[in-house]
Structure 1
Amino acid sequence: MKKVFSVIGNIALYLGVFYALLYLLRSTYNYEVTLSFAKFLDRNPAMFMAVLFTLITLVYMLIFLIKGRIWPQEDKNLFRASGFKRLSVSRAFLMIGLGLAGSLFSIGLIVIDHIARQFPSIPALVDDTIRGDSIGYVILGAGLIGPAFEEILFRGLIFRELRRVMPVYIALLLQAAAYAYFQPSAALSVISIGSGMIYGSLYLRTGSLWAPILVQNTAMGTIFLFKYIGFYEWFNKFGDVSLYIITSLCLVALIGGSVYVWRTSSGIAAREGQALTADAPLDTTKGGLNV
């Protein structure tokens, strides 16, 4: 029971830091001295994400350092605890390929007229995020920092905590549900259940958080870059029938690639000392598990 309360407390702490800094950053609109900065963030929502998530990560680093000094058995390094372990070159390229498949799948959902009309929140999110002073801000905030922070929070921290007190497959589902809950619309939440399961399984089987980060960075970065360079308009010329086929094939490739990683990486995770069941302890002194 003590371990359960510890897990609940840690997760509450991580989410509490998130909401506290979100409130503080939004409060910059209320003060004259920070008003110009607030207006900059208002014009560039991707930079709002970049600043917020960077600040939260810094606080998480401090929390781990403090906990490590109070309890010597605790890991003092956020990144080691989250599972930032080296990926092989072949695995890294595979993750980039999965990210491209995920990107084209998402773009298909945006440019296919019937889907876009049924689920307008998907193209609206891209349109809102890409506005700003520079595409560089968008790629930095929404393509790189934002996805990396999501992986640290949901896979590196929350999934890690859940695995301490429950079977790994239940933890895998719950972290995906938590990831989906924080999405800005119901349609994106449904999609995020699946993507959260994929990211979690990649993290679990490769033993490295870099795996889902590479998938997310590739997918999100190209979604916004392709929007900026006019790829969506060119892609839309294929017509809905062809787009349905391409989008479906990209989804199959994304799922198939994830299954391939699952089937071929169990030995890697085991050799790196990663726990694949809740009965085996998670060795936080050597880093955690796995876009």
Structure 2
Amino acid sequence: MKEKLKAFFAAIGYLLLTVGIQLVISIIGGIGVGIYYVVKEVSKSTNGANLFEDNLDNLVTFTAGLTNVFLLISSIVTIFTLILIYKIKKRNYKRDLQLIKTSNINILFAIILGASCWLFNAGALSLVEESGIFYSQFEYMNEILSPLSQGSIILSIITVGIVAPIAEEFLFRGVVYNTLNRKISVRWTIIIQAILFGVFHGNLIQGSYATLLGVIFGYVTYKTKSLWPAIIMHMTNNLVATMAPYILGNYFGNILIYIAFTLVGIIGITVFLIILNSKNSKSKDTVIDFENFNNLN
């Protein structure tokens, strides 16, 4: 039990480290942007006394528009920090985090599963929101996420759709999964890392569906013995979520579509998890056997 608790708190430590990186970069970036904006406005203004009050809203809007930049930087720093920690510990991060080649069929399944996850989440969450349940929680989530949709769509695709998913998979299905699984069974490793993944998102609505995604991503990582399918799934989910408003426009806006998305998503997730499980159950285990790498049974 002592070793299991040690593994759990070590995983928490990595999570807190990542949150710390995000906070530090956001604070430094916010201060830097604030100084730049104030200096810029002072040079243009003749009314210095009321400058702060007059331009506070503009400053907040300007800073919010750079949220993707801060997220991009913190994601890159997180990836390199985690790799550096493994190098300092003289551990093979590619082996431990299962950054190994996987089959093309697993990549294809990952893309389909990622799209299916988005369909289910988009449909189910829209149905819940339309019902009026958890209204304040949806408002809070939308308020948090709105800055990510501001600015360049290209920057959003790079940050939200590509770099952030890689960083989060490095952390959760990579470092946290590996840390837990050295002392804890796969069953509990998948559950714990999924819950931590949900908590990491910081609000009830996102946390709920992130926990579900964490279970699916964790299970796929276990079955494929590679981190790449989870990365591809996460990227696909986020890329579709980022581009859907531009592609669908007003078409995504009625109950029948929400129900259709939910049902198609459930079918896609169920069918392709079953197929992926079948394909990988028969494949050779080409990955190092972790300490106490237990089966789900």
User: Which amino acid in structure 2 is aligned with residue 231 of structure 1?
Assistant: L
How far off its partner does 1:56 sit? 1.6
For residues 171 and 33 of structure 1, do their structure 2 counterparts lie closer, same or farther at Cα, with a shift above 3 Å needed? closer
1:47 matched to 2:62? The reply is no
Structure 2: gaps spanning 5 or more residues: 38-58
Choose the corresponding residue for 2:111, options 96, 107, 122: 96
Which structure 2 residues correspond to residues 225-244 of structure 1 after superposition, within 5 A? 225-227=243-245, 229-236=246-253, 239-244=254-259
Provide the C-alpha distance between the structure 2 equivalents of 1:61 and 1:26, rounded to a whole number of angstroms: 22
Asked whether the 8 Å contact 1:154–1:179 carries over to 2, the reply is yes
Q: Which residue of 2 aligns with 1:138?
A: 156
Q: Which runs of 5+ in 1 are unaligned?
A: 69-73, 282-291
Please report the TM-score for the alignment, with normalisation by the length of structure 1.
0.80
Task: State yes or no: 1:11 paired with 2:24.
Answer: no
Matched, 1:278 2:292: yes
Separation (CA, whole Å) in 2 of partners of 1:187 and 1:208: 29
Change in 2 beyond 3 A, CA 1:105/1:232: farther
Matched position secondary structure for 1:118: coil
Q: Kindly indicate whether the alpha-carbon contact (under 8 Å) linking 2:182 and 2:290 is maintained by their aligned counterparts in 1.
A: no
> What's 2:207 paired with?
189
Instruction: Tell me the distance in 2 between the aligned counterparts of 1:147 and 1:140.
Output: 10
In 2, Cα distance between equivalents of 1:43 and 1:142? 14
Assess if the C-alpha contact under 8 Å between 2:221 and 2:230 holds in 1. yes
Per the TM alignment, residue 273 of structure 1 is displaced from its structure 2 partner at its CA by: 3.6
Alpha-carbon shift at residue 81 of structure 1 (Å): 2.2
Letter in structure 2 aligned against 1:248: L
Structure 2 counterpart SS, 1:265: helix
After superposition, the Cα gap between the structure-2 partners of 1:115 and 1:207, relative to the gap in structure 1 and judged at 3 Å, is farther
Residue 233 of structure 1: CA displacement? 1.4
1:198 is displaced (CA, Å) by 0.4
DSSP 3-state at the match of 1:271:
coil
Local SS of the residue matching 2:99: coil
Give the C-alpha shift of residue 217 in structure 1: 0.4
**Superposed CA offset, 1:23-81 (max 9, x none):** 3213315755884499876313222211111112111121111110xxxxx32xx3442
Asked if the contact 1:164–1:278 (Cα under 8 Å) also holds between the matched residues in 2, the reply is yes
The alignment-based identity, stated in percent, is 19
Query: Is this contact kept in 1: 2:71–2:159, CA < 8 A?
Result: yes
Matched to 2:67, the amino acid is: P
Q: How does 1:208-223 map to 2 (within 5 A)?
A: 208-223=226-241
Aligned partner of 1:217: which letter? M
Cα distance in 2 for residues equivalent to 1:217 and 1:168: 24
- In the alignment, residue 89 of structure 1 is paired with which amino acid? N
The answer to whether structure 1 residue 82 and structure 2 residue 97 are counterparts is yes
Do 1:18 and 1:56's aligned partners in 2 also have CA atoms closer than 8 Å? yes
What number of residue pairs does the alignment pair up?
Answer: 269
Give per-residue Cα distances to partners, 1:150-204, cap 9 Å, x unaligned.
1111111111111111221111111111111112321222222221110000000
> Which residue is 1:207 aligned to?
225
CA–CA distance in 1 between the matches of 2:82 and 2:198? 22
The alpha-carbon deviation at position 143 of structure 1 amounts to: 0.9
Residue pair 1:176, 1:192 contacting (<8 A) in 2 also: yes
Q: Using a 3 Å threshold, how does the CA distance of structure 1 residues 169 and 280 change in structure 2: closer, same or farther?
A: closer
Q: Match of 2:165? A: 147
Summarize the Cα distance change of 1:101–1:19 in structure 2 as closer, same or farther, 3 Å threshold: closer
Instruction: Report the TM-score when normalising by structure 2.
Output: 0.78
Match of 1:24 in 2: 24
Classify 1:127/1:232 alpha carbon distance in 2 versus 1 (closer, same or farther; 3 Å). farther
Distance 2:157 2:17 in 1: 25
8 A Cα contact 1:126 1:224, kept in partner: no
Structure showing greater Rg: 2
Instruction: Please say if residues 98 and 257 of structure 1, whose CA atoms lie closer than 8 Å, have aligned partners that are also in contact.
Output: yes
